[in-house]
Amino acid sequence: MKTYGIICEYNPFHNGHIYQIEKTKELTGADHIVAIMSGNFVQRGEPALMDKFTRAKIAVRNGVDLVVEMPVQYSLANAEMFARSGVMMLGSLRCVEGISFGAECDDIEALRKCADAVHELSTAENLKPLMEQGMPYPAAIQQLVALKYGPALSDLLNSPNNILAIEYLKSLKLLKLDQKINPVVIKRSGAEHDGEEHTDTIASGEYIRRLIDDGEDFSAFVPKDTFDAVREYDDNDLLCWYENFERVLLYRLRTISPQELFTTPDVDQGLGNRIFQASRAANSLQDLLEKIKTKAYPMARIKRVLFSLMLGIKADDMKVPPLYGRILALNDRGADILKLAGSLPEDGLSIPFSSSLKDFVSKENQRSTRMASMTTVSSDIYVLGSRNIRPSGMDFTTPITFDKIEGFVSELPADLKTTAHSGTAEEVEAARKADREEFERRKAITMEKPSDEIVDTPVEDSETDGEE
Q: Which of 50-59, 301-310, 451-460 has the lowest mean pLDDT?
A: 451-460
Q: Could you give phi then psi for residue 307, rounded to 5 degrees?
A: -70, -35
CB 157 within 8 A of CB 114: yes
pLDDT band at 3 (very low <50, low <70, confident <90, very high): very high
Which among 183, 146, 3, 174 is positioned nearest to 81, based on CA atoms? 174
Buried b (16+ CB within 10 A) or exposed e, 184-212: bbbebebbbbeeeebeeebbbbbbbbebb
- Report the pLDDT value the prediction gives residue 428, as an integer from 0 to 100: 53
273, with CB counted inside 10 A (0-12, 13-18, 19+), is middle
Listed range (72-86, 269-283, 337-351) with the worst mean pLDDT: 337-351
The span from the CA of 410 to the CA of 352, in Å, is 20
Lowest mean pLDDT among 131-135, 179-183, 194-198, 285-289: 194-198
pLDDT of residue 336: 86
d(CA 156, CA 353): 36
- For position 408, what pLDDT does the model report? 72
Is the predicted pLDDT of residue 67 greater than 80, yes or no?
Answer: yes
Domains and CATH numbers, the chain: 1-104+159-228+323-468 (3.40.50.620), 243-318 (no CATH)
Distances (CA, A) of 411 to 65, 334, 358: 15, 11, 22
**Mean pLDDT value across residues 276-288:** 95
pLDDT in tens, 377-411: 999 999 999 999 999 999 999 988 988 887 776 55
Q: How many CA atoms lie within 13 A of 237 on its CB side?
A: 7
Q: Is the pLDDT of residue 284 over 60?
A: yes
Give the tens place of pLDDT for each residue, 333-376.
998 888 877 544 445 677 888 898 988 988 888 999 999 999 99
Q: What is the pLDDT of residues 209-248, one digit of tens each?
A: 999 999 999 999 999 999 999 999 999 999 999 999 999 9
The answer to whether 402 and 467 have CB atoms below 8 angstroms apart is no
β-partners of residue 35 are 6, 67
Task: Please give the model's pTM, rounded to 2 decimal places.
Answer: 0.86
Could you tell me which of 159, 205, 165, 201 has the C-alpha nearest to residue 186? Answer: 165
pLDDT of residue 419: 45
CA angle 156, 59, 194 (to 5 degrees): 35
Query: Residues 149-178: pLDDT tens digits?
Result: 999 999 999 988 999 999 999 999 999 999
Question: b or e along 344-374 (b: 16 or more beta carbons within 10 Å of the residue's beta carbon)?
Answer: beeeebbbbbbbbbebbbeeeeeebbbbbeb
pLDDT at residue number 455: 36
Residue 23 region by backbone torsions, left for phi larger than 0, else alpha for psi between -120 and 50, else beta: alpha
Closest C-alpha among 175, 189, 176 to residue 80: 175
**What is d(CA 110, CA 428) in angstroms, rounded to the nearest whole number?**
38
22 Cβ contact list (under 8 Å, min separation 6)? 63
* Closest listed residue to residue 115, CA positions, set 84, 88, 91: 84
Cα diameter, the chain: 70
Using pLDDT thresholds of 50, 70 and 90, give the confidence band for residue 302.
Answer: very high
% of residues, the chain, pLDDT over 90: 68
